[in-house]
Structure 1
């Protein structure tokens, strides 16, 4: 794929071996491709003087991208950024000596010094990696969606979601993600405070150079939701330009007012708490702005229930 045009690349439907060969060929033609042991691979596409470093998994790419391409290629096309994608075959938290060595080599070679701005990005286990490996590029910006701080049970024994991964070593190099952010220009953690374990990990990232943004009622799949709302790209742009703050984030996330999955979760919460007046107001707001048959039916039901006479007392 000599000088492949990323806008025309569609890797969906390929078997994983074929997929890896195709994406590696694109990397070789546009920058470099480097295997990092059996479970990890790095693909670099060189373009502009802003570098986006993303951590992704193959299952995540297959689930979230219609063309089965790395997330950062969208920023190559939209903004002319360069992109380094570090991809794992599954959730490994990128705890692998070959990955350590890869970032050591990039640091020693001055790879990151060639770029005016560097942004690290990841979600969940990949958010952990974005924070952990950002230390290799002092002054980087880091954007994390519901990241884990560590799976070391001495620190996070309360998180029982990943018990089988506690055998991974989180105490060696690039280990405790929050500490690896000390050299970052600025880092951002996005999480739903109602997702208790995500919120607890978020609290561990509290640092002078870390901003934490709450997304209540968005749930535990923030990356997919933000992609559906087309908010990942503007989020990364704001972070790259040091303009991501409480005000700009609030303006950005207003898009969820038109996002049915969020609105449904909010309605369920209100009704579950018996706050039927607020639920009715929500349905009125949504049906006034959007074509939302479910909310219209629910509004009619809430109004009918409010007008119905109370049941007669039992004799």
Structure 2
């Protein structure tokens, strides 16, 4: 195991525009050159990049990687390049929630070999079903940090029968080993759960992770593509950096999250929320504030629409344009 401090490792890859099997073969080849690649049963595999003394463990579906980032490569590889972190990626073909005995056995072997003990710090990361995986398997590395983005706690219908998503997995066991994700993070030093409280079912899952070592980070009106939106804002990497160092908190996240004010999907979602709440005056103020900062024709048209419907007056908008004394 390479535990020397490095500034970055070279990973020469172009994984774009490949057929599915060619893509997986390319990941296999790159990982074998810099660490190892290991199939785990029919639908999972592990790709390890041996670099530096910090380890990022990512749980991702192949489909999410290939449609979710331009490089079409495992998320942890960018940190291997940038910081020289070692990277362990657990890949799933589809939303399996990483529930397979071959995955259990793999983590059992890592524990038996003292694999995680060779690193100064370990961070488990995942989004959506990957967040479940990151939380569930973090128990294999006591003292690790966990960043779970929009996590599921379990798909056991006895616990989360109110969630009707992923019905095809309801027969999958979530009651045996590495099962209930909120219990599995008890051994983590620190954990963060990022979720949109406006997404009711996501918020209910997030509430199940309430633990003394867990910090809840809320991203209202960001929807269900939180990881992609954070990446588009340019704040995903700083969040990961802080999670690895253990410095991420509500205040530091809120400071980074101000970047949402430049994202059109967030701006539109906030306007929609105000309209649904029947708050036309606040909606008009929101549109005017956006137009002061950026040329966003959509919000100008919304003002004209509200005036046309008579829910606000031209005089009200004139008052908003006057500078405060």
Short-chain TM bin? over 0.9
1:51 pairs with 2:44: no
Q: Deviations over 1:118-163 (max 9, x none)?
A: 0000011110010000000000000001111111111111111122
Gaps of 5+ in 1: 310-315
Residues 16-165 of structure 1 aligned to structure 2 (within 5 Å): 16-165=20-169
1:190 pairs with 2:194: yes
Pick aligned residue for 2:286 from 255, 267, 282: 282
Match of 1:313 in 2: none
Contact 1:191 1:214 in 2 (8 A): yes
Question: Deviation at 1:74?
Answer: 1.4
Which one is further off, 288-297 or 184-193? Answer: 288-297
Match of 1:220 in 2: 224
Q: Deviations over 1:197-227 (max 9, x none)?
A: 1011111101110111111111112122112
1:269 pairs with 2:257: no
Match of 1:13 in 2: 17
Pick aligned residue for 2:214 from 207, 210, 214: 210
How far apart are the structure 2 equivalents of 1:232 and 1:84? 18
RMSD between aligned residues: 1.5
**TM-score normalised to structure 1 length:** 0.93
Question: Deviation at 1:303?
Answer: 4.9
Match of 1:312 in 2: none
Question: Deviation at 1:297?
Answer: 2.5
Contact 2:58 2:126 in 1 (8 A): yes
How far apart are the structure 1 equivalents of 2:84 and 2:305? 51
Q: Deviations over 1:258-305 (max 9, x none)?
A: 111011011111122221111111111111112312123223444564
Contact 1:140 1:184 in 2 (8 A): yes
Pick aligned residue for 1:178 from 167, 176, 182: 182
Contact 1:280 1:303 in 2 (8 A): no
Query: Secondary structure of 1:190's partner?
Result: strand
**TM-score normalised to structure 2 length:** 0.91
Contact 2:284 2:303 in 1 (8 A): yes
Query: Secondary structure of 2:187's partner?
Result: coil
Gaps of 5+ in 2: 1-8, 316-325
How far apart are the structure 1 equivalents of 2:298 and 2:162? 38
Runs of 4+ in 1 over 6 A off after TM superposition: none
Contact 2:135 2:148 in 1 (8 A): yes
